[in-house]
Structure 1
């Protein structure tokens, strides 16, 4: 089984990413359970604006990410919180994923069916639950199954302050929730693999 993490940090590689650090708690647990994990830092790629799975212009790298989505049973979208909302990079990723709503497999099912998704959020300001609900809602619209407690987050409350990598406060709870998130994603992905959803009624 494969999992894809799309890190929607604003920081380009090789800069350290707080969002990726918390997402790593989830991926470590998935890998312990035998899942093959691929991590993409979206800001490193040329991802053009648009709502299509095909390249918008020469060099548009979204089709490569789209292929990874279709080969993965588990998706984790990881985003920092900015102004109480998902990052602009996360919004662009979701806009490109919008095209998947009209794509079907050989049995007439939306291509996101029988795949599960969850959310990781970091930030030194409040708004994590809002970001989780926005991204989870979008992923459910696209056709992903979002299990219960398929998220984890870290922040120290409203206003500016230290980042996840700068402060150990709250890590124990965030990391424990991240491991539970990984177990829930893996468990539901296995259940769907054994008893997949059929095409929706006509």
Structure 2
């Protein structure tokens, strides 16, 4: 089984990413469960605006698109900025919306029988809003969203330190992240064994 983590931090590599650090907790648990895990930092790529799978002219989204189709598990990881998902996360979701018009060899939307979850970090509140925004979009696209398929870290309302700068709250975020990984894995395994049927026309 393969898992893809799309990190929607605003920080380009090799700058440290708080969001990547928490996403790795989930990724490590997925590896323990037997998954291959790959990470993509979207801001490092030239992802053109649009709602198509290939915008041409140097667009680097098609490579991410291929990775999405090769993964049974997707994790979208985003920081919270002004209480909302990052602008990079919004760009990724807009490009992913093209999946709704693509079908597999049995006529199902290509996101069917794939599961998705969300990782959020931030030094301000708004994590639950970010989770609901991203999971809502992924559900529209066709992904299955298991119960408790998210984890987040922040220290409450108002600005504060970053995840990598403060150990407070890590135990809860890590425990929730490991549970998230298990729920994603088990649901993906169930869908492989008993896939969703072609939608009725």
Category of TM-score, reference length = shorter chain: over 0.9
4+ residue runs of structure 1 moved beyond 2 angstroms? Answer: none
Name the counterpart of 2:116.
Answer: 117
The answer for the alignment partner of 1:73 in structure 2 is: 72
Q: Which residue of 2 aligns with 1:106?
A: 105
1:35-81 superposed Cα distances (whole Å, 9 cap, x missing partner): 00000000000000000001x23211000000000000000000000
The Cα RMSD (Å) is 0.5
Number of residue pairs the alignment of both structures matches: 201
Counterpart CA distance in 2 for 1:177 and 1:71 is 26
1:171-190 CA distance string (max 9 Å, x none): 00000000000000000000
CA separation in 2, counterparts of 1:129 and 1:199?
32
Residue 85 in structure 1 maps to residue 84 in structure 2: yes
Where in structure 1 are there 5+ consecutive unaligned residues? none
Give unmatched runs, 5+ long, in structure 2: none
Measure, in 2, the Cα distance between the counterparts of 1:5 and 1:137.
Answer: 18
Q: Which residue of 1 aligns with 2:151?
A: 152
Residue 157 of structure 1 deviates from its aligned partner by 1.1
Partner SS for 2:38: strand
Give 3-state SS (helix, strand or coil) of 2:110's partner: coil
How far, CA to CA, are the matches of 1:100 and 1:79 in structure 2? 20
Give distance in 2, aligned partners of 1:57 and 1:196.
Answer: 33
